Copies of this chain bind each other. A is one copy, B any other.
């Protein structure tokens, strides 16, 4: 809870002197955070230890720590939080909400992402003979994105939208092949089957999906994360963003693992592509 509110709400629980301190702070919080304990004590007409005790009562470590908390609560604006779009939101309002919710989701995704798994995935990818990216529905665009990225690394990349093609591709997979399956819920039946098929053929199966989902259990290496998704009315968005960024992380890990010479090469390839374009611009 906001520290300033806490001061306000606990007003009744303070002792007489502590309340004096609280009142001085509430009267002018900006002054409070820029004062020393001595100054504040004088303003409240109490002793310095009283101010200190007041701070501790609010579960802070002491006066400086209290000031820090207070400063944070005074800082305008709230941290990014998922907020639902309401019926009568203005354009400004729903735009802000959607952007901030997206950011909040990415933050959640990052915190829940299994870094060790990311590292292993990079390991596996760098050693792959071929890499396949499969997703369905909304996740298929993520697979395409992945193809786009890894293709530039000069690695054989496969990417299909079609369930049958995905299946056939996996039936023909071998040891050394890597199959990356992308699914937010990890409950898409056909992808789960594909995971099993690829695994039985000896391919490494990386799943970018939810922890403990059916798909994650079929993968040789689940790269899991949790993304809160409000799919009730609006369309899944947060999970897609998180998947895209995760792919970016894997691609980055890939280039880092390959070492500087590889990256120089990548840069050169990019330069060449630029030159071949009329508008000298590849970033589109």
Contact = CB atoms under 8 A, between A and B. Distances in A.
Interface in A172-195: 183-185, 187-189
A241 B109 CA distance: 15
A241 B241 contact: yes
A98 B281 contact: no
A110 to B, nearest CB: 4
Interface in A63-92: 64-65, 67-68, 71-80, 85, 87, 89, 91-92
Nearest to A88: B256
Looking at A67, A99, A149, A187, which has the most chain B CB atoms within 10 Å of its CB?
A: A99
Given A115-B92, A122-B91, A281-B185, A244 B241 contact: yes
A123 to B, nearest CB: 10
A141 B138 contact: no
A62 to B, nearest CB: 11
A20 interface: no
A145 interface: yes
B283 A184 contact: yes
A237 interface: yes
Contact of A278 (B73, B103, B189, B239): B189
A202 to B, nearest CB: 26
B85 A75 contact: no
Contact of A94 (B92, B252, B260): B252
A107 interface: yes
The 6 tightest CB contacts between A and B, nearest first, are A72-B75, A75-B75, A99-B110, A137-B284, A91-B119, A77-B79
Interface of A: 33-34, 64-65, 67-68, 71-80, 85, 87, 89, 91-92, 94-96, 98-100, 102-103, 106-107, 109-110, 113, 115-116, 118-119, 122, 135-139, 141, 144-145, 148-149, 152, 183-185, 187-189, 229, 231-237, 239-241, 244-245, 248-249, 251-253, 255-256, 260, 263, 266-267, 278-279, 281-284
